[in-house]
Structure 1
């Protein structure tokens, strides 16, 4: 598992919609930074890449408190690009399959294990929860057939896994990079991303439940 799949965490963004004045990787969830929760989830991953941009020095310093073998990648255009650019940059020279993970995302620990053990390419989705969601539409067998800003069967929170050689540079979102390869296998997970303060409050409560 850990030797065949690289993980890219995209932490370059400003997080302006959240309104807490710092990049989402550093916000506190039950007394710990969000990135520290993610690092715990990936403690057995050998090839872990973190894409930094806004407040990069602070993110690097925080990560190094937990492990010193992470590959840091800088997205210099973090003000004008979205997660697609960070995923592409982080995937350079990675393993054959690359798992995309947003820096504002928390996933139930049992589902993290499932994701990391899953073979091949796939897209994860969750029950609709976020205030400003992107949606996915699925087939009866759960495959993802489209993304939408308006409506869908589930919320697209990420993560997703794709072959590295299929990735091209995009200043847009990760789902824009995935769209040419639909349909793709879908996996329903318990996951929440943090775009707004209401999302943040919701995640804090869920983490209390998940880590009792």
Structure 2
């Protein structure tokens, strides 16, 4: 049984690189909204918080329709802050550990469930996936642990933007990328997942070509 009791999903961004004119969490892949897919993955997590910003009323409406017990956290500074700030807002006033994930991903359900099942108190863990996106945070793995991040030096794996982290990691943040902030806490344990971050049309096309990983058919009905 998973010990994960808290989850923060960052869904405040503009989605400008994808260019669909709406938050990426509202994009449909295989007839299923990404937000619905993510909320289904965390259906057994009792405290789920979604951080909203761009087109927040529309996102909130969908959250309420899919899972009314989700706590909505507003990020009014979404145009000038990073995902790191959304994570901090979402986890504010919590203690212990929390699952953090971005709101623009498709994740293979069995692997995600295995990730949750192996989370342990006070032991940070990062989800990694085979490098495939155009804007990857390449991750160096040594002995099963992430030891370095890079935007410029390709490796076999990229960070999947899924993390199990102590809340204290977000007590002192700047306006930087999440991976840059997390560098100070490396090395961290990792677990490989099959996931696709939808940052641009290339990523979206890759995800559509691999729909068999995500078990979306039941959610589309």
TM-score calculated relative to the size of structure 2: 0.90
Question: Which 4+ stretches in 1 moved above 6 angstroms?
Answer: none
Q: Report how far residue 3 of structure 1 moved.
A: 6.0
1:81 equivalent in structure 2: 81
Assess if the C-alpha contact under 8 Å between 1:84 and 1:176 holds in 2.
no
Q: Report how far residue 41 of structure 1 moved.
A: 0.6
Assess if the C-alpha contact under 8 Å between 2:125 and 2:188 holds in 1.
yes
Q: How has the CA–CA distance of structure 1 residues 136 and 21 changed in structure 2, closer, same or farther, with 3 Å as cutoff?
A: same
1:97 equivalent in structure 2: 97
Query: Can you list the C-alpha shifts for 1:109-131, whole angstroms capped at 9, x where unaligned?
Result: 01110121122311111101111
Query: Can you list the C-alpha shifts for 1:127-174, whole angstroms capped at 9, x where unaligned?
Result: 0111111111111x1100111011233111220111112213332222
Q: How has the CA–CA distance of structure 1 residues 133 and 97 changed in structure 2, closer, same or farther, with 3 Å as cutoff?
A: same
Are 2:127 and 1:124 aligned? Answer: yes
Assess if the C-alpha contact under 8 Å between 1:3 and 1:46 holds in 2.
no
TM-score calculated relative to the size of structure 1: 0.94
Q: Distance in 2 between matches of 1:5 and 1:77?
A: 27
2:147 to 125, 145, 148: 145
SS in 2 for 1:131: coil
Within a 5 Å distance, the mapping from 1:1-212 to structure 2 comes to: 4-118=4-118, 119=120, 120-139=123-142, 141-151=143-153, 152-167=155-170, 168-211=172-215
Q: Report how far residue 60 of structure 1 moved.
A: 0.6
Q: Report how far residue 209 of structure 1 moved.
A: 4.2
Structure 1: where are the runs of 5+ without partners? Answer: none
Q: Report how far residue 18 of structure 1 moved.
A: 0.4
Query: Can you list the C-alpha shifts for 1:50-77, whole angstroms capped at 9, x where unaligned?
Result: 0000011100100111111111111111
